Amino acid sequence: MSAILDNYKQLFSYYKQLGDKAMSQLDEDDKYFWTPEANSNSIAIIIQHLHGNMLSRWTDFLTSEGEKTWRNREQEFQLYANDKEELMSLWNAGWDCLFTALISVTDSNKHSDIVIRNQKHTIDQAVQRQLAHYSYHVGQIVFLSKIIVSDSWSSLSIPKGQSTAYNKKKFDQALNDSHFTEDFVKKE
């Protein structure tokens, strides 16, 4: 389970950093609140939703229902954050809650049932569920950021036209067991 959790931690770190890097390209705070049309979510709304979900799912996740009674999911989709500073506080608090929870998994509790909306999950199932959910929303943040930034966008992975050079560099190295995300994220 330790190796699996380490992989999950790397993947969650990767997606957090994709979001961080995408949002760092937004040069004005009001861009966090932009929507392509009236029924779309802004980056701000997505951050609020992720924050609410992460706190609900990961607070006491080994011992309590993942859909907390204090969570107000509907409010997450009503803008309440006022500025970039508040949004970044929500963003980081959610991720901190997640990483703290993952650290709490030990050999003695690794077989605990995780309950989300009255459905039992193994730890592995619960983590995979949230990994899929968060990567979906981080992808939305990246896409919205790219639309907003437009021509000044800096690629977060292999830039267009550089696949051949990137692959050559990878295949010129000896076979190794490094995690694929190591090329794209900083070490925590």
pLDDT digits (tens, 9 = 90+) for 65-77: 999 999 999 999 9
Number of CB atoms found within 10 A of residue 158's CB:
14
Give pLDDT, residue 158: 87
Given the candidates 1.20.210.10, 3.20.20.70, 3.40.50.2020, 1.20.120.450, the CATH classification of the domain at 2-183 is: 1.20.120.450
pLDDT, the chain, mean:
94
**Mean pLDDT score, 98-127:** 95
The whole-number average pLDDT for the span 42-65 is: 98
Selected residue with higher pLDDT from 149 and 158: 149
Residue 109 confidence (pLDDT) above 50: yes
Give the residue among 158, 153, 146, 154 at the shortest CA–CA distance from 183: 158
Helix (H, G, I), strand (E, B) or coil at 71: coil
Q: What confidence tier does 186 reach under pLDDT thresholds 50, 70, 90? A: low
Is residue 114 classed as helix, strand or coil in its secondary structure? strand
pTM of the prediction? 0.93
What's the rounded mean pLDDT across residues 21-41?
96
Output the pLDDT for position 177: 86
Checking if the pLDDT of 101 tops 90, the result is yes
Q: Is the pLDDT of residue 171 over 60?
A: yes
Domain ranges of the chain: 2-183
- pLDDT confidence bin for 80, thresholds 50/70/90: very high
Q: Check residue 180 and give its pLDDT.
A: 85
CB atoms within 10 A of CB 163: 10
Maximum Cα–Cα distance across the chain? 54
How many Å apart are CA 117 and CA 109, to the nearest integer? 21
* Predicted pLDDT at 188: 45
